[in-house]
Amino acid sequence: MREPNDANNDRRLRVGSLFSGYGGLDLAVEDVFDADTVWFSEINEPVARVFAHHWPDAPNLGDITTIDWSTLPPVDILCGGFPCQDVSTVGKMAGLAPGTRSGLWAHMATAIEHLQPEWVVIENVRGLLSAPAIRPAPEGDDDEQRNPEGATGPATGAGAGATPGEVEPDPWHLGDQPARPLRAAGAVLGDLVDLRYDAQWIGLPASHIGAPHPRFRVFILAHRTVPHPTRLRRRQGWGELAEGEGTTRHDRPVAPDHRPRPPRPERIPATRGAGEPVDADRGTVRRWGRYAPAITRWEHLTGRPAPAPALLNDATGPRPAPPFVEWLMGLDPGWVTDPRHELTDAQQLTALGNGVVPRQAAHALRAMLRVAGQA
């Protein structure tokens, strides 16, 4: 998306990855921003093996709650999908609160505060829009910030309440209590604003980009509002003049093929024809029934046939086949299921179930960048 300026030494943007899983969100971020993931944080050891296999030069920082952010070099982009268990509509909807798994967002916010990346990319489930968020009460707080009782009438005298008489009473005291009613998405967006980031979000089903399943996800893209210091090696966008303290070389925007840079494999092919009608042949209809058009479209978009959907077992009955779920996510064959990762079938399904469809995330990011005028 961006070209490097002279201060960048013609290098790609650097990505720090949190709650990394098998790297689905990283694939999208790298593709959209033409970036490289330089470190990741994942505590699930089997899944971390998958990520480490695909990004062998990126160290795993481990548990996000124990990372000393002051010891890390700066990154240009910080991405992550913090745990969704407590905001998912299929869970108990405990919400974004201290002590919950989803409450680990607070540690990601701390990372943003210390690292000050130019971009922040967040992914989560639909429940982020409806689950509650609880703010911890500051130490020593006794609700004195609330409007005093009787302060809703006309102000008369030095001892009168703080609320002007013309202002409508606020029975809920919204904004005055740390434990006020708040949605999880609102808490995340509010924290980003407090950290001086402009943020936007989009909700998108995977079927929008042609996948044969809905898998609705919420994506948030935030951009740092203050001028980006040279030390973070920001890349300029199209039409911007190069800036920085390096030796003057190319002080004009030029096309990507005029810049020296190492080749990289195409991990997310362009998604075209997602909304176009498809014709399923008779064999596909016999095999997949009413799902035949959706399966055929995804086969066309991914460039490979659908694997067998189920594993048969006389003792437990049929269960989803990990290679089929991997295909549903639009991943390369063996991305998670490669025997070298030494994951059991259950571990593979868990990793895939918690992961991100890279094409879906890339489409969402490009849409938000267009709205922000950054594409």
Query: Do 129 and 246 sit in the same domain of this protein?
Result: yes
pLDDT at 197: 96
Query: Do 337 and 364 sit in the same domain of this protein?
Result: no
Which of 164-178, 216-230, 324-338 has the highest average model confidence (pLDDT)? 324-338
Tell whether 146 is covered by a domain. no
pLDDT at 275: 59
pLDDT at 130: 75
Query: Do 35 and 129 sit in the same domain of this protein?
Result: yes
| Whole-Å CA distances, 217 to 88, 171, 208 | 11, 34, 11
Tell whether 164 is covered by a domain. no
Query: Do 35 and 84 sit in the same domain of this protein?
Result: yes
pLDDT at 52: 97
Tell whether 330 is covered by a domain. yes
Tell whether 233 is covered by a domain. yes
pLDDT at 120 over 50: yes
* 82 contacts 96 by C-beta, under 8 angstroms: no
Query: Do 77 and 101 sit in the same domain of this protein?
Result: yes
Tens of pLDDT, residues 334-365: 999 999 999 999 999 999 999 999 999 999 99
Report residue 348 as tokens. Answer: 């593979």
| Whole-Å CA distances, 98 to 20, 21, 50, 179 | 21, 23, 30, 11
Query: Do 239 and 301 sit in the same domain of this protein?
Result: no
Query: Do 307 and 361 sit in the same domain of this protein?
Result: no
pLDDT at 54: 97
Tell whether 170 is covered by a domain. no
Of 6-15, 52-61, 198-207, 349-358, where does mean pLDDT reach its minimum? 6-15
pLDDT at 4: 39
Tell whether 274 is covered by a domain. no
- For residue 54, give the nearest of 359, 352, 361, 341 by alpha carbon: 341
Tell whether 231 is covered by a domain. yes
pLDDT at 271: 55
Long-range contacts of 135-139 (CB under 8 A, 24+ apart): 135/178, 135/179, 135/180, 135/182, 135/187, 136/98, 136/178, 137/178, 137/179, 138/178
Confidence grade of residue 17 (pLDDT, cut at 50, 70, 90): very high
Query: Do 11 and 32 sit in the same domain of this protein?
Result: yes
Query: Do 201 and 310 sit in the same domain of this protein?
Result: no
CA 333 to CA 338: how far, in whole Å?
Answer: 8
Name the residue range of residue 103's domain.
6-138+178-250+357-371
Confidence grade of residue 182 (pLDDT, cut at 50, 70, 90): confident
Confidence grade of residue 186 (pLDDT, cut at 50, 70, 90): confident
pLDDT at 7: 45
259-286 burial by CB neighbour count: b if 16+ within 10 A, else e? eeeeeeeebbeebeebeeebebeeebee
* Of residues 320 and 230, more confidently modeled: 320
Query: Do 122 and 77 sit in the same domain of this protein?
Result: yes
Q: What mean pLDDT do residues 1-17 have?
A: 63
Query: Do 331 and 367 sit in the same domain of this protein?
Result: no
pLDDT at 84: 54
Tell whether 154 is covered by a domain. no
Which of 84-88, 219-223, 266-270, 308-312 has the highest average model confidence (pLDDT)? 219-223
Question: What CATH number does residue 58 fall under?
Answer: 3.40.50.150
CA 104 to CA 114: how far, in whole Å?
Answer: 16
Confidence grade of residue 175 (pLDDT, cut at 50, 70, 90): very low
pLDDT at 321 over 80: yes
Number of independent structural domains in the chain? 2
Kindly report the length of the chain. Answer: 375
What is the pTM assigned to this prediction?
0.74
Q: What mean pLDDT do residues 47-75 have?
A: 95
pLDDT at 11 over 80: no
Query: Do 131 and 192 sit in the same domain of this protein?
Result: yes
* 36 contacts 13 by C-beta, under 8 angstroms: yes
pLDDT at 318: 83
